[in-house]
Amino acid sequence: MKRIFTIFAMAALLLTGCEKETPEPIAVKVSQIKLVGMPTEFTVGRSVTISAVITPDDATYKRVTFTSSNPEVATVECIQSENNYSLALLKAVGPGKATITATANDGSGVKAEAEVDVLPATKKVSDISITMSKSEVKVGDMVPQFDLHLLDGTKVPVSSLKGKVVMLQFTASWCGVCRKEMPFIESDIWQKHKGNKNFALFGIDRDEPIETVKAFAEKTGVTYPLALDPGADHFAKYADRKAGITRNVLVDKTGKIVMLTRLYNEEEFASLCKKIDELLAQ
């Protein structure tokens, strides 16, 4: 009997994914969950990746359960849990409204909720939000203007960078793709061009406190400058405020956007590196 119990206990320890058995005791419970990347409206048949970010970072148990109040409208399935965040795939099934909930699995009762409005597939995305279509930048546009507020307190107006080749990387600590891409940005772009006076690179962390961003930089090992973006106000100049990241914006010496990348793809990243080399050679 004792042997059977041991086998079941070992099997429990091997469980992976979003829902794990709660360890005992729980020294630090979850105090807050923040849902990130939630669309306010989208159409039947579409899907997006959303995140649930746990606070504090040192919470003992960092898993959440995702649920939908109306699975006939929208379904949600956890696909990855790492550090203090969990990723889930949100799918639009039928027209209507549904509330998506992320609940901490540590017994604290802490949860976050957000409503999603699913529109019929016949409705054009361009009809959903005029604001969204206006906020999306495209290649050929002039770079939107704002002030970069770096972690050391320095303020850098984007307008002051005219005459340089500029790369802006929108990122966040909860973004797994960002953490995958950033070491390559560090090694293949920053270390190669940081001594070039005609090049500038800034990571822009979306809506996180300075302590979190500093820890993020240390964990990823990047040394290129990072800036804060409270409320994602800077990001909203380039894309819908709740759209996903990572995103890279490459700007030429005249201030014109010449390349945009989304997520991390080795082939696309190689093209980005090549484009930077070409612009600096001009």
Q: Grade residue 165 by pLDDT with cuts at 50, 70 and 90.
A: very high
Give residue-wise pLDDT tens across range 85-116: 787 888 889 999 999 999 988 888 899 998 88
Give residue-wise pLDDT tens across range 166-224: 999 999 988 888 989 999 999 999 999 999 999 999 999 998 899 999 999 999 999 99
Question: What mean pLDDT, rounded, does the chain reach?
Answer: 83
Look up tokens 């270390």; give the residue. 191
Look up tokens 């939107």; give the residue. 144
Q: Grade residue 134 by pLDDT with cuts at 50, 70 and 90.
A: very low
Q: Which CATH number fits domain 19-128: 2.60.40.10, 3.30.70.20, 2.60.40.1080, 3.90.400.10?
A: 2.60.40.1080
* Positions of CATH 3.40.30.10 in the chain: 135-281
Look up tokens 């949600």; give the residue. 76
How would you classify the pairing of strands 147-150 and 226-229?
A: antiparallel
Strand order in the sheet with 64-68: 41-43, 111-119, 96-104, 64-68
Residue 142 to residue 158: CA distance in whole angstroms: 11
* Nearest by Cα to 270 from 252, 251, 248, 254: 248
Q: Which residues pair with 77 in a beta bridge?
A: 89
CATH 3.40.50.150 fits 135-281, yes or no: no
Specify the DSSP element, H or E, that contains 269.
Answer: helix 266-281
Give residue-wise pLDDT tens across range 56-82: 877 777 788 999 999 999 999 887 776
Look up tokens 């090694």; give the residue. 187
